Amino acid sequence: MGSSDAAFAGSIPAIYEQYLGRLLFEPYAADLAARLGEMPKGRILEVAAGTGIVTRVMAKALPKNVEILATDLNQAMLDLAAKNLDAPNVTWRQTDAQTLPFDDESFDVVVCQFGVMFFPDKQAAYREALRVLKPGGLYLFNVWDRLDANQLSKVVSDVTGAAFPDDPPKFIERVPFGYFNHDTIRRALQDAGFGRIDIDVVEKISEAPSPLHPATGLTQGTPLRMEIEARGANRLEEITHKAEEALKARFGDGPIENRMSAIVVTAQR
């Protein structure tokens, strides 16, 4: 994975939040928060918090005496997240999930929404999560299922690949949809030292108001944008339009029903 695969800067965070937040991430944020149950107190560490979509849901769903420390590698994402949430029990900090600057056994739960796929050294991130968890603590995260089970994203991936046949951008299939094998995930967590590991496939349905909405979000609000611009400096709007037209052909030109599939993992120290 190249360094640009985890780069969310410039206008990307705002586009990501506006066009992809409700469409892709809010349904699964609610699922993760619900899995925390009636957590009465304690400390939660969120890694790869992005624009704070899960953070906002947890802050609303959990008691105010549950402390939430939300972190991300990209300060631009955290800056936008902090603007969208003002809660006394939530703090923000820029940090790398692979080298956490926190004490051993200092959190009850570690949460990560669609971030594990971006970690170059997943084993290091798993070991760090284990280290900062208290005995019996939970590591709760989700990753996308295979690309074929997420047709909206697949259409956009196919379009961008066809636009550059000699050097197709592979970000979508390589990173967000490249880490879905249950056995691989389970073995990596076991090797890191986790005990009980539960893996669920969770399907959700959301709606995009038009084909342009997801086309813009995926081509301009993710690191796919850098791959497109690297291959054709002035072709971003063209590729966005091609993605819009392909989505129209697949789903129609009105609101789009977006069927999604993700993998949710709960690992206990």
| CATH at 130 | 3.40.50.150
- pLDDT band for position 8 (cuts 50, 70, 90): confident
| Distance from C-alpha of 202 to C-alpha of 194, rounded to nearest angstrom | 22
| % of the chain surpassing 90 pLDDT | 94
Q: Provide the domain limits for residue 13.
A: 3-268
In total, how many domains does the chain have? Answer: 1
Over residues 17-36, the pLDDT tens digits come to 999 999 999 999 999 999 99
Over residues 187-237, the pLDDT tens digits come to 999 999 999 999 999 999 999 999 999 999 999 999 999 999 999 999 999
Radius of gyration in angstroms for the set of CA atoms belonging to the chain, rounded to a whole number: 18
Instruction: From residue 2, give the alpha-carbon distance in Å to each of 7, 94, 119, 222.
Output: 10, 20, 11, 14
pLDDT over 80 (residue 5): no
What is this structure's pTM?
Answer: 0.94
- pLDDT band for position 10 (cuts 50, 70, 90): confident
| Distance from C-alpha of 37 to C-alpha of 59, rounded to nearest angstrom | 13
**Summary mean pLDDT of the chain:** 96
Question: Hey, what are 213's tokens?
Answer: 């909405």
Identify residue 91 by its one-letter amino acid code: T
